[in-house]
């Protein structure tokens, strides 16, 4: 007898925005779900609107599954959509959906990543989301641009660390804010594909360096589907302050989550203290199990506070499919 397992389905709030014609690697997220690190599970990929499993055998194929990653060589506009990775064995099944939006090159600024650096001290810009390419030991030579002008290799203001994705600015000035572009290329089976990331740098006064800054969610709305499980992480940059000085909480209609949802349909997940590129972050997920229509009318807020100040970020859960805006 073959048992049909009902899958535990999570819509993970990771939205990849990429440029048409570039190489893209999506990674099946491994959030605190222990099973997602279980390598004995069979992992498959498919696009939401298709039952067809994306295979990894044909090296000529434009879209290929490779373990827990999905490669687009290169991405095209019609690849926009929801991709689902399913992990299963004979007794277990879990699915995670992640979202991909492919835009034209002219919209590069609309999909930029926000980074913040403090003024009058040195700071590091990081070319983001290159993880999948770095894992492949690709020889990634990065070229950096500020407002489309190449940053001269000899310019003493900038320090490039070989074999890393960072650009160090010796002393950050307020006028350094603006758009930076990092470019590289990825070669697969003899073909070279461009990989471009755009960063919007904001400079922050040094006096505020220990104030928490919410870096994620970076959009005012999160798309959701009623009936599905969903996770929205709140990621807070805490500069040089120690993790234990900063509290991070989620509120619904200005009420603590555990007081609002006595049935535990909406809960706050485990707090994670992260050090990334030498900087301190705290991440606290808000978990909907499942999303219900009432969530579209509720005000959710992530609040981060320490003795130097606080920041609040309101976010709205919106029903997917209506009024979709990628800016
Ligand atoms: C299937 O995977 C689950 C989750 O990792 C694990 O607990 C279970 O033992 C596995 N079952 C089999 C038959 O391998
Ligand atoms: C994994 O799943 C696919 C699709 O169901 C199947 O074709 C393949 O044989 C499975 N692989 C293993 C190792 O179980
Ligand atoms: C998947 O696609 C179907 C049909 O297009 C849609 O109704 C559903 O909401 C989508 N699910 C997700 C998680 O996007
Ligand atoms: C939050 O407030 C809105 C507007 O008053 C209301 O419609 C919604 O049901 C409230 N949410 C919860 C979870 O009580």
Domains of the chain in sequence order: 8-105 (2.60.40.10), 112-208 (2.60.40.10), 213-319 (2.60.40.10)
**Predicted structure pTM score:** 0.67
Question: What is the rounded average pLDDT for all residues in the chain?
Answer: 84
Residue nearest to atom 9 of ligand 1 (CA): 91
Pocket test for ligand 4, best of 251, 253, 254, 300 (most atoms within 8 A of CB): 253
What φ, ψ does residue 260 adopt, rounded to 5°? -75, -40
Mean pLDDT of 151-180: 87
pLDDT of residue 136: 57
Q: Which of 36-40, 131-135, 157-161, 261-265 has the highest mean pLDDT?
A: 261-265
Find all residues with CB under 8 Å of 152, minimum gap 6, and list them: none
Q: Is the predicted pLDDT of residue 138 greater than 80, yes or no? A: no
Q: Could you tell me which residue, 93 or 200, shows the higher pLDDT?
A: 200
Establish whether residue 252 lines the binding site of ligand 4, counting it when its CB lies within 6 angstroms of any ligand atom: yes
pLDDT of residue 309: 80
Burial class (CB in 10 A: 0-12, 13-18, 19+), 235: buried
C-alpha 220 to ligand 4 mean position (Å): 18
Q: At which residue do the structure tokens 């290159």 appear?
A: 130
Q: Is the predicted pLDDT of residue 322 greater than 80, yes or no? A: no
pLDDT of residue 148: 86
Give percent of the chain with pLDDT exceeding 70. 86
Q: Is the predicted pLDDT of residue 315 greater than 80, yes or no? A: yes
CA of 321, closest atom in ligand 3: 9
pLDDT of residue 177: 94
The structure tokens listed for 238 are 């805490």
Between 96-105, 128-137, 291-300, the lowest mean confidence (pLDDT) is in 128-137
Establish whether residue 249 lines the binding site of ligand 4, counting it when its CB lies within 6 angstroms of any ligand atom: no
Establish whether residue 42 lines the binding site of ligand 2, counting it when its CB lies within 6 angstroms of any ligand atom: yes
Residue nearest to atom 2 of ligand 2 (CA): 42
Q: Is the predicted pLDDT of residue 32 greater than 90, yes or no? A: no
What φ, ψ does residue 213 adopt, rounded to 5°? -125, 125
C-alpha 42 to ligand 2 mean position (Å): 6
C-alpha 143 to ligand 1 mean position (Å): 45
Mean pLDDT of 253-265: 93
Establish whether residue 253 lines the binding site of ligand 4, counting it when its CB lies within 6 angstroms of any ligand atom: yes
What is the dihedral sign for C-alpha 34, 39, 42, 43? Answer: positive
Q: Which ligand is nearest to the CA of 260?
A: 4
Q: In whole angstroms, what is the distance from residue 94 CA to residue 97 CA?
A: 10
Compute CA distances 33 → 30, 47, 103, whole Å.
Answer: 7, 22, 31
pLDDT of residue 200: 92
C-alpha 82 to ligand 3 mean position (Å): 8
Q: Is the predicted pLDDT of residue 277 greater than 70, yes or no? A: no
Q: Is the predicted pLDDT of residue 324 greater than 60, yes or no? A: no
Q: Which of 22-26, 89-93, 138-142, 236-240 has the highest mean pLDDT?
A: 22-26
Establish whether residue 82 lines the binding site of ligand 3, counting it when its CB lies within 6 angstroms of any ligand atom: yes
Task: Please provide the distance, in angstroms rounded to a whole number, between the alpha carbons at the two ends of the chain.
Answer: 49
């Amino acid at each position: 007898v073959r048992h049909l397992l009902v899958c535990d389905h999570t819509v993970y709030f990771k939205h990849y925005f990429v440029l048409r014609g570039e190489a893209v690697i999506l990674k099946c997220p491994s959030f605190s779900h222990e099973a997602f690190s279980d390598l004995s599970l069979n992992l498959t990929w498919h696009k939401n609107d298709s039952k067809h499993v994306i295979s990894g055998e044909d090296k000529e194929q434009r879209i290929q599954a490779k373990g827990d990653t999905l490669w687009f060589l290169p991405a095209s506009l019609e690849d926009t959509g929801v991709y689902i990775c399913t992990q299963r064995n004979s007794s277990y099944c879990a699915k995670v959906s992640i979202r991909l939006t492919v835009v034209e090159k002219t919209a590069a600024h609309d999909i930029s990543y926000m980074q913040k650096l403090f003024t009058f001290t040195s700071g590091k810009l990081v070319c983001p989301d290159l993880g999948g390419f770095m894992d492949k030991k690709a020889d990634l030579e990065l070229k950096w641009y500020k407002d489309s002008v190449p940053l001269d290799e000899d310019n003493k203001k900038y320090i490039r660390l070989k074999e890393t994705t960072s650009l160090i600015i010796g002393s950050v000035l307020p006028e350094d804010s603006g758009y930076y572009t990092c470019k590289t290329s990825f070669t697969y089976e003899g073909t070279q594909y461009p990989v471009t990331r755009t960063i919007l740098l904001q400079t922050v006064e040094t006096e505020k360096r220990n104030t928490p800054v919410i870096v994620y969610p970076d959009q005012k709305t999160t798309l959701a589907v009623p009936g599905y499980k969903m996770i929205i992480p709140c990621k807070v940059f805490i500069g040089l302050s120690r993790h234990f000085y900063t509290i991070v909480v989620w509120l619904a209609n200005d009420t603590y989550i555990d007081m609002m949802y006595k049935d535990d349909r909406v809960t706050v997940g485990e707090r994670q203290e992260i050090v990334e590129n030498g900087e301190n972050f705290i991440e606290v997920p808000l978990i909907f199990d499942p999303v219900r229509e009432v969530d579209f009318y509720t005000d959710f807020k992530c609040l981060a506070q320490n003795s130097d100040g606080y920041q609040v970020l309101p976010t709205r859960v919106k029903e997917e499919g209506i009024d979709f805006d990628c800016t």
